[in-house]
Structure 1
Amino acid sequence: MSERPLVILDGGMGRELQRRGAPFRQPEWSALALTEAPEAVVAVHRAYIEAGASVITSNSYAVVPFHIGEQRFAREGEALAATAGQLARAAADAGEQQVRVAGSLPPLFGSYRPDLYTPERVDEVLAPLLRGLTPHVDLWLAETQSAIAEVRAIQSRLPQDGKPFWVSFTLQDEDTDDTPRLRSGEPVSEAAEAVAGLGVQTLLFNCSQPEVIGAAIDAAKAVFERLGVDIAIGAYANAFPPQPKDAKANDGLDELREDLDPPGYLRWTQQWRTRGASLLGGCCGIGPEHIAQLHAHLR
C-alpha cells in the first residue's frame, strides 16, 4: 500500500460551540445551535477550515431522537438535517480553498450503545437525515459506529448518488485485550472485511482514546492488503479519559486530558501517519488549535 496524500479533517463541534458561548445543553447537544445560533455553527466550521481542514463534517450528529426527542425528530428531523447541511456548505464555499462537506450519519439509536440498535426503525430515523443532507454534502460519513450491522443497514439505504461512502468506527478503549475491537466487541479485522465488501472508500476510527487507534489501523491495513483492496484509512480521536462500557457519547462535557494539548495530540497523529493513515483530524475535545498543528507539521 503506497503512501497516500494526507487529508486533514476537522475537529469536534459540540465543545467548540460551547466555548464560543452558543446555547448548549443536554440532551440536544450540538443540535441546539442549528436553530438558536446557526452563525456559531458556521463560525466553528470556518475555524477548522482556516486551521487547515479540507473536509468538514455537517453538524447533524445530534439530529436523532436520542438527542432531540421522538416528537421533535418526527416533526423537524429532516429540516434540522437540511440546516446542518446548508451551514456546512456555506462555510465550505466561503473561502478560496476547495473544501468537501461530509454528511454526518450518526449512530441512529445512541452513541456507544450497540445494544440499542433497532433494525426495524432504521428507515424511520435514517431517511430524514439523508433527505435533508443530500443537496449539500459531497460524501457520506457514517461515524462513531459501534457495530457492523448498523453500517450494513446504512449502506443499503444510501441514495444512488455516486457520492463516496466513508465509515468510522468507535473502539473499545477500556478493559481491552490484544485484539482491537469495536464497542460491540467485534474485532476490527472483521469490520475491515465487512466494509471492503460494501464499497466503502475510506475506513476511519474515531471517538476513542489515541492509545487504541494505532493497533486498529494496523489491523485494518493488514486486511486490506490481504484482500488487495484500495481503501484509505484515517483516524480522529477524542481527548477524554477512557469511557466505560455503559457510557454514552455526548453525555456531558468530560474533563479533557492535559497530555492531549495540540503538541501532545500531534505526536499521536504522527504515529498514525507512519502506520498508514492518510486522513487525520480530531473528535470531541480536539479543536482548531489542534488541527492547525496537524496542518503545519504533518505536511
Structure 2
Amino acid sequence: MNSIQSILEQYGVMILDGAMATELERSGADLNDSLWSARLLKEDPEAIQQVHYRYFEAGADCAITASYQATIPGFVQRGWSEQEAKELIRRSVQIAIEARDTFWTDYTNSENNNFAAQKFPNQLDNESVRATSRPRPLVAASVGPYGAYLADGSEYRGDYKLNEQQLVEFHAPRIRELIEAGADILACETIPCLIEAKAIVTVLQQFPGVQAWFSFSGKDNEHISSGERAADCAAWLDSYEQVAAIGINCTALEYIPALISTMHAQTTKPILVYPNSGEQYDPATKTWHGSSCTQDYGQQAQDWYARGARLIGGCCRTTPADIASVRQVLRTK
C-alpha cells in the first residue's frame, strides 16, 4: 500500500489537493455556517465527492477529507445524535475513498489502454499493463484544531485556555472514527499551538501503526499562530515515529519560504506546505479580501521544493488549476 514514504521514494514529491470550500462555493454551496463544509456531509455528499475527483484529475496524490470542522459536539449542537455525528465523521472518509477508487479505475483504464495501444496492440486486455506515471492516491483524514470547532477564528490564535488532557479528550473520539473509517493517514492541520500537537500525539499513541502529518498555521516568518517558534515545534515532533511529516498550512504565501527553511533545519521528517492563495482572511467577518498572488503557484512551489518541502499543495482559495500547475512544474510525465 502507498504511504508518504513510498511515494516520496518513487516520485520525489507528493502533491496534495487544494481548497475544498472554495470549490464547493464555486459550485453554489453556501458555507456560511459553523460546520462549514462539514454540513454538506449530510446535505450534499455528492458535491464533496466531485471536488475530490477534480483534484485527482488535476494531479493530486492525496485527498484531504471534509472533516476539518466535523466533530461530535459540533454535530450534536446542531441537533444530530452522537451516533449520527460519528456516522457523518466516518462518511467524510468514505466519500474520499469512493472518489479515489472511481478516479483510479478511470485513470488506470485510460492509461493502460493508451499504453497498450502503442506497445501491445494485440493485448489490450493484458492486466499486467499498469500505469506508472503517478501513485495511487492516498486519503488523509482532516483533523482540524479545537479552534475550528469553536468557529471563532481561534485556530489562528491558539488561545483556548484548555490543558493538554482536555485537548486529548476532545480529539480522541473523532480520531477513532476517522481511523476506523479507513483513512490512509491523518492530516492534523492548521494547528495553532504546540500543546495541541502534543495532545494529538498522545491520542495517536492509542493507535499503534497509524501515522499523521502535523501542519501548523503560521503568523510570520518564524512563529506559528500562538507565537511559539516553528523550529521548536518541528524539533519536538521529530522523535515520534507516528509523525509522518511536519509543516505549515493555511498561512500567507509571504511567510512560507522562511518557515520551510526554519522547520527543515530541525527535523529529518519530510516537510509539507500548503498555503493560502494570497488573499487575506478576516476571522471576525469570515470574509476574504485583497487579491491572490500574481506569481504562478507552480513556480512558487518550485521554490518551496528547492528549500526542502516534499509534500506540496494548497489551502484556502486555491483551486484545481493551482494543483495542476504544481504537478506540471514538479512532476512531468
| Superposition TM-score, scaled by structure 2 size | 0.78
> Corresponding residue for 2:302?
270
> Corresponding residue for 2:151?
none
The answer (yes or no) to whether the contact 1:8–1:294 under 8 Å persists in 2 is yes
**Counterpart amino acid of 1:241?**
E
Instruction: Note if 1:112 corresponds to 2:144.
Output: no
Q: CA RMSD in A?
A: 2.3
Instruction: Note if 1:85 corresponds to 2:131.
Output: no
* Structure 1 residues 161 and 67, CA gap change in structure 2 (3 angstroms): same
Counterpart mapping for 1:206-225 below 5 A:
206-224=249-267
The answer (yes or no) to whether the contact 1:57–1:103 under 8 Å persists in 2 is yes
> Corresponding residue for 2:325?
293
Determine the C-alpha separation between the residues in 2 that align with 1:47 and 1:9.
Answer: 12
The answer (yes or no) to whether the contact 2:72–2:86 under 8 Å persists in 1 is no
> Corresponding residue for 1:95?
103
> Corresponding residue for 1:9?
16
**Counterpart amino acid of 2:291?**
R
The answer (yes or no) to whether the contact 2:257–2:307 under 8 Å persists in 1 is yes
Give 1:240 deviation, angstroms: 4.2
* Structure 1 residues 38 and 276, CA gap change in structure 2 (3 angstroms): same
> Corresponding residue for 2:173?
128
**Counterpart amino acid of 1:130?**
I
Give 1:62 deviation, angstroms: 1.2
Counterpart mapping for 1:28-107 below 5 A:
28-64=35-71, 68=75, 70=77, 72=79, 75=82, 76-96=84-104, 98-107=136-145
* Structure 1 residues 154 and 117, CA gap change in structure 2 (3 angstroms): farther
> Corresponding residue for 1:239?
277
Structure 2 unaligned runs (5+)?
A: 1-7, 105-134, 149-154
The answer (yes or no) to whether the contact 1:65–1:109 under 8 Å persists in 2 is no
The answer (yes or no) to whether the contact 2:96–2:139 under 8 Å persists in 1 is yes
SS in 2 for 1:95: helix
Give 1:103 deviation, angstroms: 1.1
Instruction: Note if 1:153 corresponds to 2:199.
Output: yes
Give 1:71 deviation, angstroms: 5.5
The answer (yes or no) to whether the contact 1:10–1:291 under 8 Å persists in 2 is yes
| Superposition TM-score, scaled by structure 1 size | 0.86
The answer (yes or no) to whether the contact 1:239–1:256 under 8 Å persists in 2 is no
Determine the C-alpha separation between the residues in 2 that align with 1:92 and 1:253.
Answer: 31
Determine the C-alpha separation between the residues in 1 that align with 2:281 and 2:27.
Answer: 26
**Counterpart amino acid of 1:167?**
F
Count of aligned residue pairs for this structure pair: 281
* Structure 1 residues 143 and 73, CA gap change in structure 2 (3 angstroms): farther
> Given the alignment, which residue of 190, 195, 205 partners 1:144?
190
* Structure 1 residues 132 and 65, CA gap change in structure 2 (3 angstroms): closer
* Structure 1 residues 297 and 231, CA gap change in structure 2 (3 angstroms): same
Determine the C-alpha separation between the residues in 1 that align with 2:302 and 2:38.
Answer: 32
Give 1:141 deviation, angstroms: 1.4
Determine the C-alpha separation between the residues in 1 that align with 2:75 and 2:291.
Answer: 29
Identity %: 31
* Structure 1 residues 157 and 48, CA gap change in structure 2 (3 angstroms): same
Determine the C-alpha separation between the residues in 1 that align with 2:66 and 2:290.
Answer: 21
> Corresponding residue for 1:227?
none
**Counterpart amino acid of 2:88?**
L
> Corresponding residue for 2:213?
166
> Corresponding residue for 1:176?
none
The answer (yes or no) to whether the contact 1:152–1:198 under 8 Å persists in 2 is no
- Structure with the greater alpha carbon radius of gyration: 2
The answer (yes or no) to whether the contact 1:17–1:41 under 8 Å persists in 2 is yes
Q: Which moved more, 1:273-282 or 1:129-138?
A: 129-138
Determine the C-alpha separation between the residues in 2 that align with 1:86 and 1:142.
Answer: 18
SS in 2 for 1:151: helix
Determine the C-alpha separation between the residues in 1 that align with 2:186 and 2:248.
Answer: 15
**Counterpart amino acid of 1:284?**
C
Structure 1 unaligned runs (5+)?
A: 174-178, 225-229
